[in-house]
A and B are shown apart, each in its own frame.
Chain A
Amino acid sequence: QKEVEQDPGPLSVPEGAIVSLNCTYSNSAFQYFMWYRQYSRKGPELLMYTYSSGNKEDGRFTAQVDKSSKYISLFIRDSQPSDSATYLCAMSLYSSASKIIFGSGTRLSIRP
């Protein structure tokens, strides 16, 4: 069993839709949870960062962590074609500056 499971997609939604991306994990010791966005042939870019359970909102993006279910989500409101990318969930035991375990990424396409 992988430590982090993520549906690879692809996921295609119309512009303006709400997008929901999810990951599950097996190691209950993870404390730091991150979402990265990766455009084709580029390095990942940190989008959201949360510690422990709860919600965090940043503009059109909301990250949710449910440690009891070992489940994390990223919601994108009012999706734009420029949001088309691969979204990677990631988690760490100590901080986002230490060893990060990545999900396999979900490829998202926003149709104009």
Chain B
Amino acid sequence: GAVVSQHPSWVICKSGTSVKIECRSLDFQATTMFWYRQFPKQSLMLMATSNEGSKATYEQGVEKDKFLINHASLTLSTLTVTSAHPEDSSFYICSARVLLAALETQYFGPGTRLLVL
């Protein structure tokens, strides 16, 4: 099956610093990856769609200058939270679009828990 990994799995940082989260497709190439955010006891909210070699498409209300997305290769997308603040503390999950058995779907990574102090 398709495997998506994320690194780091958790990170604690001081307010004002930037944090980079990596999302990798381990055994397949992904031209499209998605970034989600999940607050405690709430649903996953799509932040942006990342396409290899082009600019990401951000959802309404998501600041593109704060959440920088780079999809420089077919197996790696990165999300950088710039000048992080406590309200950015959340669970960040990526997914990759994959075609398996004629079904096009998304496989999710294990998530990255960010705590901003």
Contact = CB atoms under 8 A, between A and B. Distances in A.
B44 A42 contact: no
Contact of B46 (A43, A96, A100): A100
Interface of B is mostly: strand
Contacts of B45: 102
B105 A49 contact: yes
Contacts of B91: 41
Contact of B105 (A6, A8, A42, A46): A46
A35 B98 CA distance: 17
Interface of A: 4, 6, 8, 36, 41-46, 49, 88, 95-97, 99-100, 102-105
Interface of B: 4, 6, 32, 41-46, 49, 91, 93, 95, 97-99, 103-111, 113
